[in-house]
Amino acid sequence: MQSKPKFTQFIIGAIAVAVAAIVLEGIIKTGFGALGQTPGDRAWSYVIALLVTWGISGAGSAGKALLSPQIGSISEMISSVASGAFLGFFYAGVFAENNPQVAIGGAVVGGILALVAAILWRRRLVWGMVVAIAGALHGYGFALLVGTQAIDRLVAGLFGGGTIWGIVCIVYLFFSVNSLRLAVQILGKLSAISRQPSA
């Protein structure tokens, strides 16, 4: 009688781990390449693209945890699109050996697929868990990138800019923690549902 709940819990856990692994691979490989880049560098536009997608994903996911249910649902959908766009950009680029046109096309396709999934599965707890995990990791990646910018400016004596970037870093760490908290809450709900006796 206990085998089915345990199997369901295993599947849920496997989904969570798989999502985290897929997102983390993208964040680590792109994030390290973005470290140390400055506005004058050729790759700066690439850094801006990362900051935009990660920032939207992280803030949108946190919005689901912090805002009203109606606004939170919209926020979650926006986070889904941003996460899908980043993952499409990264993995399409990897498969095409860093071809920028293919990567951009992958971002468009990834964003569209994520939007469709968000519309179709917006009431499903598993989808909420997926978005929360991706948002938590993207928010943390955003905080790290912004934090390095803050440190660079403070070291250079640009205290105004360094302070602003530092505050943004702290805000996104807060977002990341709340997204992670939401993911854990959903995992708990899914685990409790899986243990309920079937009719």
Rounded to two decimals, the pTM is 0.92
Q: For 77-108, what is each residue's pLDDT tens digit?
A: 999 999 999 999 999 999 998 898 999 999 99
Instruction: Dig out the tokens for 26 from the structure.
Output: 């993208």
**Angle ∠(178,32,41) on CA atoms, nearest 5:** 115
- The whole-angstrom separation of Cα 107 and Cα 143 is 22
Question: What does the pLDDT look like over 138-178, one tens digit per residue?
Answer: 999 999 999 998 998 999 999 999 999 999 999 999 999 99
Tokens of 72: 């939170």
* Nearest-angstrom CA–CA distance, 6 and 195: 8
Q: What residue spans define the domains of the chain?
A: 3-30+54-195
State how far Cα 11 lies from the chain centre: 21
Q: Which two tokens stand for residue 195?
A: 């243990």
- Radius of gyration over every alpha carbon of the chain, rounded to an integer in angstroms: 18
Orientation angle between helical segments 69-95 and 125-155, nearest 10 degrees: 70
Confidence of residue 74 (pLDDT cuts 50, 70, 90): very high
Q: Which residues of 70-91 are buried (b: 16+ CB within 10 A; e: fewer)?
A: eebbebbbbbbbbbbbbbbbbb
